[in-house]
Amino acid sequence: MLHAVWNACKFVGVAIPVSITFLDNVGSVARVHGSSMWPTLNGERSNSPDYVWLNSFATRNFTVERGDIIAFTSPTDPNRVLIKRVVGLEGDIVQSSSTRYSNLRIRQGFVWMEGDNKDKSMDSNTFGPVPRGLVLGKASLIIWPPARFRRLKTEADRSYPSVLVENGFATTKNQPAFTSPKISPTSPSDVPTGVFASDDSADGIKT
């Protein structure tokens, strides 16, 4: 009996670290709540929330590309996970829908995140650039429901109105003169790393 208990304890002792390592370095499945990424996620014909595969390996070195759909810890609530699209990268100049972030140059180590359904999204237009250290994984597949199964493509060539200057080149006509960059109101040391969770369920992410 004691031998069986000991073997069970050893199995649990090995399984838990392996599971944590898998989630941190390979990926996990997450349920998506909300409509801010509509119609890409939780499309109008879907009767149930989308479940996505979050590829942690793709972002392990904080490597993200413009157009990626990324899950990240909310900069304003470490117990909440959001999922948005990467619109701006470091060095870009962005013009948000709020006057607080007018002609802002994105600092090194930060990205600008927006929902595809901007009118229903709380994103960088609200809380500013997001530290790369808060990135949890790249959403690469919708795996459930079956009718929604598809690969989520990186839309790097898509036009993003918020980005005024991309890679040193103006992206819009009548680009306003840029004098001195504004500094992001947050820095990595100011933002807690957080945990993978949400205020609804342990496997859920907010859009």
Please give the full DSSP string across 53-100, using - where no structure is assigned.
EEESGGGTTS---TT-EEEEE-SS-TT-EEEEEEEE-TT-EE--SSGG
Q: Which of 54-68, 74-88, 108-122 has the lowest mean pLDDT?
A: 54-68
Kindly name the residue from 74, 84, 138, 206 that is annotated as catalytic.
84
Burial 101-117 (b: 16+ CB within 10 A, else e): bebbbbbeebbbbbbbb
Question: 3-state DSSP call for residue 118?
Answer: helix
The neighbouring-strand residues paired with 112 are 88
The CA distances from residue 206 to 71, 122, 176, 177, 188, in Å, are 9, 10, 34, 36, 22
CA atoms of 196 and 42, how far apart (whole Å)? 20
Q: Is the pLDDT at 18 greater than 70, yes or no? A: no
Active-site option among 28, 36, 74, 184: 36
Structure tokens at 58: 């793709």
pLDDT of amino acid 101 = 78
- Domains of the chain and CATH, by start: 2-206 (2.10.109.10)
pTM, 2 dp: 0.69
Q: Band of the pLDDT at 74, cuts 50, 70, 90?
A: very high
Residues 6+ apart with CB under 8 A from 182: 101, 102, 103, 104, 105
Whether 84 is a known active-site residue: answer: yes
User: Among this protein's residues, is 10 annotated catalytic?
Assistant: no
Neighbours of 146 (CB within 10 A): 7
Q: What is the pLDDT of residues 147-193, one digit of tens each?
A: 899 999 888 777 787 888 776 555 553 344 333 333 333 333 333 33
pLDDT at 207: 64
Each residue of 20-57: pLDDT tens digit? 333 445 678 989 988 899 999 987 766 789 999 998 86
